[in-house]
Structure 1
Amino acid sequence: MTLAKEQTTDSSSNSGLSNFRLTVERLLELLDLEEEDEYGILRPTEYAFRTAMKLVVEAYDVLGDNFPKASTATDELGSIRLAWQNVNADRRVRLFCPHNADDKAYIYHQKSEEYGSEDITSAATLAHWLEWFNKV
């Protein structure tokens, strides 16, 4: 899998609004990527972008100032991955938004050696795992 572009993230104590704004800006920057390269699609599909934005906005509505900033990337099919990494608590959350409606969006979560994943049925699932992510 090629990652078209990825920005790093940390769990610094910026306000939730600026973390949210930074995450949205990073998602929007994905739309400015070249359409494709020799490895595949770089720019996300409209479906992946709309799915990611909807989930992020709705999770922010729940989390408010506790919204952590995420790094963003695309894969060779135009899917989007958002990644949160809390190095202080050794926690990771990854949101995968597929390139089309035939595949499901899902969340991957990890703390130390414990990990799991689940399908996203609503932004409440993302908000739950981001609340878990924020615990130190």
Structure 2
Amino acid sequence: MRRGRPGTGVEALKRSIRVRFWYKGSRCRVNLQMAPTKANIRAAERLMVRVREEIELDIFDFKRHFFQSRDALHSQFDAFAQAWLGQLVLAKSTLEGYRKAMRQIWIPAFGSRHLAHISLRKSARSSANASRRCRPGRSITT
């Protein structure tokens, strides 16, 4: 069984194939749910050639090529936030407070920004800006 040619960004694992590439300053690693056969490895190598060409031309769409990837499903902050809020099991008032904070602070600050491009510094800055809008000891009201 082949492991993929060096430099192609394709790696055969036990039950799948992993592709690696750089996109917008972030290293992306995606596991393709396909058996690591010679034919599938060649197909993955062709896919990587296409991906690199599209990145170079600035027309690459992660979701189009890797629609089953968890990164594609929740790659943007607002989609991730909605999914996160949806899976929480909390008291109704607590959950409503979280939703309000998302609507008023976090969604305006980060919106549809890719998760990989949100740093601790940016989130701390948004949190500090939000706390300046509040009076000490008071929560944010609508």
TM-score normalised over the length of structure 1: 0.29
Larger radius of gyration: 2
Query: Higher RCO, 1 or 2 (CA under 8 Å, sep at least 6)?
Result: 1
Which is strand-richer, 1 or 2?
1
Larger % of helix: which? 2
